[in-house]
Amino acid sequence: RTGRFYGAHSLSQFKQLEKKIREQPEGLQMDVNLVSKSQQHTEIGSDFYHGGIVYPYHASLDPAKFHQELLERALSSGVQIKTLCAVNKIVKKRGIFQLQTEAGTMTAREVVVATNGYTGTVTPWLKRRIIPIGSYIIATETLEEGLVDELIPKDRVITDTRKLVVYFRASPDRKRILFGGRASLNETDPEKCVKPLYKQLKIIFPQLTKTKVSHSWMGFVGFTFDHMPHTGNQDGIHYAMGYCGSGVSLSSYFGTKLGQRLAGLPEGNTVLTEIKFQTRPFYSGNPWFLAPSILYYRLLDRYLS
């Protein structure tokens, strides 16, 4: 449990954070700490922000290790996992599903779709409800001793109030900075994302001006039109997706609840089960509106917030 620092990218946004804390609904108050600009060096070695909020109970983990442990537990429980075996078609006949895959056809009583940002044409109803958005991340080279302690002294994960948010943290071994965000108006490849992300990183941390980037990668997260995750059943197919950038925690929770529902356990139902899964007219799964939306948000961040 490292906590999260939520930086205000402008003075007006800091005032909004003050108001947000002051006007928390009775009975729903969160344990948060307001940090002024004069105090923020206790949280982040940067003058870029105008203060912010600390959420002390937010946490971080190593997603690769988490995934590996989930995989090992599934395998040790007798689960069979078939890799490189894409499902090309799902057909339901007399209550039984037939799944046509690259390795042949298999049958199943129950089918779970948890494709999130990679939802495709096999499930068109779901594809029309998921907005795939690329998340681009870079990692610095190994930094000199003591520099990470200067930049992120309390090992917080860090985000900010911009519409086009950036997100960053120290690597688990506290030798590098991992930095993510949007790299361009349209989707690009990990190599091309380095320059724009590195530029943003140096604005926040001028101390890294001469630091090199050693790694870059990307993946698709799944957003929804109502900014809510969704789980339910459509035409007999169970689904869980739409985590809006918080999939490491939410997918684990939804997966547990969905498994409980499949087992007939009442605790598998949540307030998020079967809420209306929105789409929009003329949307088929290709976010053609992404580039103009990003440009609009970029203008908001620069001039109106």
Could you tell me the CATH number of the domain that includes residue 37? Answer: 3.30.9.10
Residue 220 · residue 242 · CB < 8 Å: no
Domain check: are 70 and 180 in the same one?
no
Domain check: are 53 and 67 in the same one?
no
Domain check: are 201 and 66 in the same one?
no
* pLDDT (average), residues 191-199: 95
Domain check: are 16 and 92 in the same one?
no
Domain check: are 45 and 100 in the same one?
no
- Please report the pLDDT score of residue 305 as a whole number: 83
Q: Is residue 161 part of a domain?
A: yes
- Whole-prediction pTM value? 0.92
Residue 154 · residue 43 · CB < 8 Å: yes
- Confidence tier at 288 by pLDDT (50, 70, 90): very high
User: What string of DSSP letters covers 236-258?
Assistant: TEEEEE--TT-HHHHHHHHHHHH
- Please report the pLDDT score of residue 185 as a whole number: 84
For residue 32, what are the domain limits?
A: 4-59+132-223
Domain check: are 47 and 150 in the same one?
yes
Average pLDDT, the chain: 95
Domain check: are 28 and 103 in the same one?
no
pLDDT at 304 over 90: no
Nearest to 222 by CA among 210, 234, 214, 230: 230
- Please report the pLDDT score of residue 273 as a whole number: 87
Domain check: are 81 and 214 in the same one?
no
Number of domains making up the chain: 2
Domain check: are 205 and 70 in the same one?
no
Domain check: are 71 and 205 in the same one?
no
Beta-sheet strand order (sheet of 213-223): 33-35, 52-55, 4-7, 157-160, 167-170, 177-181, 131-140, 213-223
pLDDT in tens, 238-277: 999 999 999 999 999 999 999 999 999 999 998 888 799 9
- Please report the pLDDT score of residue 272 as a whole number: 87
Q: Is residue 259 part of a domain?
A: no
**Two tokens, residue 84:** 């490189």
- Please report the pLDDT score of residue 83 as a whole number: 92
